[in-house]
Structures are given as structure tokens and as C-alpha cells.
Amino acid sequence: MKKLLNELSTECCPAYSLESDVGIDAQVPENLKRSLSFNLPNVAESDLLRHFTNLSRKNYALSTTFYPLGSCTMKYNPLINERIAKFDNFTKLHPYQNLETIQGVLEIMYGLEKDLCEISGMDCFSLQQAAGAHGEFASLLIIAKYFKSIKQKRTKIIVPDSAHGTNSASAVFAGFEIVPLKSESNGSILPEKLKEILTPEIAAIMLTVPNTLGTFEKNIPEISRIVHENGSLLYYDGANLNAVIGVVRPGDMGFDIMHINLHKTFSTPHGGGGPGSGPVGVKVFLEPFLPVPRIERKGTEFILNYEKPESIGRLKAFLGNFSVILKAYVYIKSLGAKGLKNVSEQAVLNANYMLARFRDKINVPAGNRCMHEFVLAPKALYKNSVRTLDIAKRLLDCGYYAPTVYFPLIVEEAIMIEPTETESKETLDAFVDTLIKIIVDETLLDPQKLKDAPVNTNVGRLNEVEAARNPVLRWK
């Protein structure tokens, strides 16, 4: 086990302290001085450098291994976008600068809004939201405000069991009651079942397209018709937009409102929980309710318009997560329309290639074709009390980060795989071969190897329940 810095600390290597430098210390006001109520580790600078460098090498990263988590968390993105986001002109911006000094920033944000409108088929966008779930929440506040404005009391949201996992939480947080809808075996919605639960109280139905089983909703035209005939709205969860860019637009399919995860689809790896951006797009009749301020162009200048009396208000400090917005802008401009369409086509091709290799060995509940992701249902192959968690841990020993497991909940012992568009055939084949060997062979012949995994990592298998309920957040 690698030692912590505190354990490496020795008295012969005193750590730097601000108080030790009289020249600097004298210039810092007393009320701003840091109180060192704890002892900094006493280590040599070379040991400090090596400590953190070696720690970084222990991380799973796209620069070292394949992530079958795909755009949901870790999609490879061009490094040039990261370099541009680090330009001094962007990183040294201050959020309270006068508008005349940030006209370039506002122009980029205004341009991205227009690009997202073209990509999605929506009429207007707001970039303020800080993440996908934040975009869901904002969308549901907009839906609530819209029905209030037309004096209709609609208090319920339909959420299919094949929808994105945060939909229900966002709807409840926005004050709605959830009406669940059971999907078919491939995650699709039957219009007949939808009709049975559509009432005057339904404000909207939230659809994830493609759904979490990786299939495209084939009944969207009929769903759109009956939902709108009921006076309800159609919401598009854009978490899986990576599968359809340049191929189909939510706005053309009848959706009224949507969010996009810029950090999933447009160039910002989201591993570790951030940063993110969840822009909300709407049809024109919902535009008055978008968050303020709205970025508008007046002549040659860009302004921030707060005079939107029907707006749901401000949802985030300042204008949004600009570095994520900037990388999305660069990604879209560098690829162009053809390039973006190629992204989706390659993502779908890669996923279907992997599915074709798996389906003769492991059950795929959603069928013979998928969009950008698919779900394996390996439970029937498990012997000797092996479970999906054991498979995930064993993959760590084989050099792969594990894919999403136990989601969607409608598939027992699920393994969700999403290769994205940038992985080579050799990489995909190596992963498929490894996973088949673990599930088909090792489960039967050497189950203890799975139960003991991981053994090649710095720490063995942790008690995850105990860690979640009783976390140790500081070194003692």
C-alpha cells in the first residue's frame, strides 16, 4: 500500500510556511492570513512531485485505457479543444466584467445557441444550466410555468421505465407527481398503453431517445400526436443525442422542449462528476419562460436581457460553465455538419459491431440492432453465485474500466456497453474477447477469481455499502 504524504513526513524536511517568510508575511493583512491549525506534511519537493505523479498514473484514463462507459461519462474528445479552453483570454475572464469587455464571449455563446437550434430543430436555447439534471429541472420548471400561464392545473409527469435515470427525481424536485409507464422488452412505448394513463392532469411525458436499452423509439409520430391531442407536452432527454446528431432532430419529431448534455456529446469528458453543461432548447411558444438573462444581439453588440417577466428566473450564478460551452462551440465548428453526422454514424456502427459479436454468446434483450449503446443480460450464464458486480471487478484486473452495471433497472444483472465513435476495431475486439472469456469461461471454471477481484489494483474490493454510509473523509 502506497503511503500517504502524512506518513512520508519527517522532521528533517520542513514544509514551506507563509509565516516563515517575513517579507511576504508582512504584506498580508492579518484578517486574510491562513490559520495553520494543522501541520503540513514535511517532505522534500522531489518526493512531493513523485508522489502526485505516481498517483496520477494509477488513475484509469482515456489516455491509458478503453472506457466502455462511452459518452455517458468518458468519451474521447480532441485535445485541441482543451488547449483552446485554456487560452489566457478565456481563463482570466472575471464574471463581473463589463459587457463591452466580454463581447467575444457573448458572441461565442450566442453562436452556440444558434448551432444547437440547428442541430436539434428547436427555436431557442438557454446555456445557463450547469448539468444534464439541471437542464431537466429547468425544463420542468418551464413546463409548469407554461401551464400556469394558460391557467391549466397539470400536476403529473409520465416517465417510462426506459427513460434516463434522473428524470423522475427532476420532476419530483420541480413539484410534479410521477406516473410510471412500463415499456416493452426493447424499451419502446406502446401508444395504446400511453393512452390508458393520459389524463387532463398530465403536463408532459419525458422520453429518452434512443432509450436506455439503446433502441430508437419507433412510435414517436403516434406518441407525439396523442400527447398533443391531450394538451400535454413532449419532453426529449438529450443524454443519448450522440446517437442521432445530423440524422434526426427532436424538434422535427414533435418534441416541445429538451435538454442537451454538452459534456456528453460535445467535447468535455464528464468523469468524476464534472464539469457539465445542460442547455435547454424550446419551441418558440415556450421561449418567454427560459431563464434570464437571455443573450441577444442588438446591431453589432450583444446584450443580456433581464426583462422577461414570464421567465422562471436565474438558475445559476453568471452565464453558465463557460469552459464547457467553449469546448462545445469549438467541437461543432471544427467538425461541421458532415463531421457531426459522421460521429453518430460511427458510434452506432461501433456499437452494432460489438453487439453482433456478443449476441451469440450472451443474451441481448433489446434484439439484433441498437443505436449507440446496448445492454447485455448475462444472468442465465452465471454459476457459483457469481454476479455482475464480480464481472465488473474482474475487468479491472484485465486493464479495463468497467461499463455501467445494474442499469437500466428493467434488465436484471444488466451490463450497459457504449463504445463511442473513436475506438478502433482492434480495441473493440480485445474488449469483447475479454468480457466473453470472463462471463462464459471464468464464471464456470474459476469463479473464485471473480469473487476475489480485483487483485492487480492498489486496493482490493471495497465494502461499497459501508463506504457510502460511513465515509472516511479525512486522514487520521
- Cell numbers 450564478 correspond to 317
pLDDT given at position 37: 59
Q: What is the pTM of this model?
A: 0.89
What is the CATH code of the structural domain delimited by 342-469? 3.90.1150.10
pLDDT tens column, 302-321 = 999 999 999 999 999 888 99
The distance of Cα 16 from the centroid of its chain, to the nearest Å, equals 40
Amino acid occupying residue 420: T
CATH 3.40.50.2300 fits 80-335, yes or no: no
Distance, CA of 450 to CA of 431 (rounded, Å): 17
Q: Is 281 helix (H, G, I), strand (E, B) or coil?
A: strand
pLDDT given at position 171: 97
Amino acid occupying residue 331: Y
Beta bridge partners of residue 207, listed in sequence order: 236
pLDDT given at position 75: 84
- What is the DSSP secondary structure assignment for residue 85, as one 8-state letter? H
Interior angle at CA 235, CA 233 and CA 237, nearest 5:
175
Q: Using alpha carbons, list the distances in angstroms from residue 87 to 74, 287, 458.
A: 24, 33, 36
Give the β-pairing of 156-160 and 177-181.
parallel
Q: Is 97 helix (H, G, I), strand (E, B) or coil?
A: coil
- What is the DSSP secondary structure assignment for residue 437, as one 8-state letter? I
Question: What ranges do the domains of the chain cover?
Answer: 5-57, 80-335, 342-469
Any residues with CB less than 8 A from the CB of 410 and at least 6 apart, and which? 161, 162, 183, 187, 213
Distance, CA of 399 to CA of 402 (rounded, Å): 9
- What is the DSSP secondary structure assignment for residue 427, as one 8-state letter? H
Average pLDDT, consecutive stretches of 10 residues, N- to C-terminus, the chain (476 residues): 81 63 65 68 87 85 84 80 92 91 96 98 97 96 98 97 92 97 92 96 97 93 97 96 96 97 87 81 98 96 96 92 95 97 97 96 92 96 94 95 91 94 95 96 93 91 89 80
Amino acid occupying residue 156: K
Distance, CA of 163 to CA of 140 (rounded, Å): 15
Extended strands (E) in 395-464: 404-405, 415-417
Distance, CA of 403 to CA of 275 (rounded, Å): 21
The distance of Cα 60 from the centroid of its chain, to the nearest Å, equals 18
Question: At 267, phi and psi to the nearest 5?
Answer: 80, 55
